[in-house]
Amino acid sequence: MKACYPGTFDPITKGHLDIIERAASIFDEVDVLLMVNPRKKCVFNAEERKQMIEASLEGIGCDNVHVVIGSGLTVDFARKLGAKAIVRGIRAVTDYEYELQQATANLMLAPEIETMFLIAKPEYSFLSSSVVKEIALNDGDISSMVPAKTAELVKEKLKGNSDALK
């Protein structure tokens, strides 16, 4: 069975990678669906984010994972890809409330596609791309939060660019 894991991944975190690895062990194929949302301001463009994800996946043994750039409704893109499930990570109750609304709407739009929730490991329960960018912008250490190559790219991109998060 094929699943997709949608998100903006701006940047990809170790929490995202944990969800990807776990999904890859459950499903035959996983498409990391890098969504482009014009209403959401990203520090990295879609191609930069795709390259970060692909570099992060090298060497972790997830040969059944592919990265795809998409836009529009997630369920429409999942349907085009032939995915039977949408994987979402849950860090806290606030995530669950939001994700439940999204999953219910998606179920109404595409009843043939299930939403599967994977609970974040405790060490990643606080972690988000926004937290990573905020810490990096203030010269904090993000090495435990993102892959090494990603940390370098984030630091370089945010160096002296306080407008990047506005």
> Pick the catalytic residue: 40, 144, 162, 166?
40
> Pick the catalytic residue: 14, 49, 88, 91?
91
CA distance 160 to 157: 8
- Residue whose C-alpha is closest to residue 129's, from 5, 14, 2, 6: 14
Helix axes 148-158, 46-57, angle to 10 degrees: 160
> Pick the catalytic residue: 16, 50, 88, 133?
16
Is residue 40 flagged as an active site residue? yes
> Pick the catalytic residue: 14, 88, 129, 133?
129
Three-state SS for 155? helix
Contact 38, 79 (CB under 8 A): no
Q: Which residues on adjacent β-strands are paired with residue 85?
A: 3, 114
Contact 89, 19 (CB under 8 A): yes
Is residue 129 flagged as an active site residue? yes
Q: Which residues on adjacent β-strands are paired with residue 65?
A: 30
Residues identified as active-site = 16, 40, 91, 129
